[in-house]
Amino acid sequence: MSQYQFVQYECVGGLVTIRINRPPYNVLDIATMEEMNAALERAGGENDAKLLLVTGAGEKAFSSGVDVLDHTKDKVERMIEVFHAIFKRLLSLPIPTVAAVNGAALGGGCELAIACDMVVAAKGAKIGQPEIKLGVFAPIAAILMPKALPMTKVMELLLGGAAIDAEEAHRLGLVNHVLPKDTFAADTAKFLEQFLSLSKVALIHAKRAVREAATRPFHEALFQVEQLYLKELMATEDAAEGLNSFIEKRKPVWKNR
């Protein structure tokens, strides 16, 4: 495992893991966020990576958010710059991303989790945006939450600042699965395996299709997805391998290209 001071980085078997390593609460100060950016930049260059996992060290918190001390007038512009750079890098990654919310995900920690393509959370974990209670608001959540939740619920969460538990987050659609806390690591690994067993190029093209179609009218989206499928995906070795392996009744051997 390659480590920074405040972030742990690992790439094994197609899985890149970035773990915020400032237990117990994994607070994101400027130095930690600079390392997060470096780790995400590195993840984007991993040729063998199929999937990115973001999680926190320990059991109390995924991340309790950005350090309040970095919101002061002398630091806030730099804080916003490095914090928002995380999302620019995370959202531009072609591979699927998963947040494993092992504990509280509050403020910037909640934003980091919901910016991932999928979220699994430990039973009882608290998720929320309490920034309003400090007289500020959560810019990333203001952009991302309306894409996932009804506007009335977004307003309640962002304007009220109350945290919800993982079970309610699951009911609302912010979380894919709620997993038992005592088997969280093992159950998360099982969840990830379904993606790691697949072709990297198929995963990338499928994610791209969803993202590109999401904001377009149907006919425009259909044209874009058809072009992606016919001209790009079907030209890959793995598309041919997947179809041939099915016809030949054998397991596919992915070349990830």
The pTM of the full predicted model, rounded to 2 decimals, is 0.95
- Whether 2 shows a pLDDT value over 90: the answer reads no
Among 46, 59, 81, 131, the active-site one is 131
**Candidate list 59, 111, 212, 237, residue with the active-site label:** 111
Peptide bond into 24 cis (omega under 30): yes
Question: Can 167 be counted among the known catalytic residues?
Answer: no
Q: What percent of the chain has pLDDT over 70?
A: 99
Alpha-carbon span 106 to 209, nearest angstrom: 30
Calculate what percentage of the chain has a pLDDT beyond 90.
97
Q: Could you tell me the sign of the dihedral formed by the alpha carbons of 62, 68, 74, 76, in that order?
A: positive
Contact 124, 105 (CB under 8 A): no
pLDDT, average across residues 81-89 = 98
pLDDT, tens digit (0-9, with 9 covering 90-100), for 144-196? 999 999 999 999 999 999 999 999 999 999 999 999 999 999 999 999 999 99
* pLDDT for residue 1: 54
Q: Is 111 a catalytic residue?
A: yes
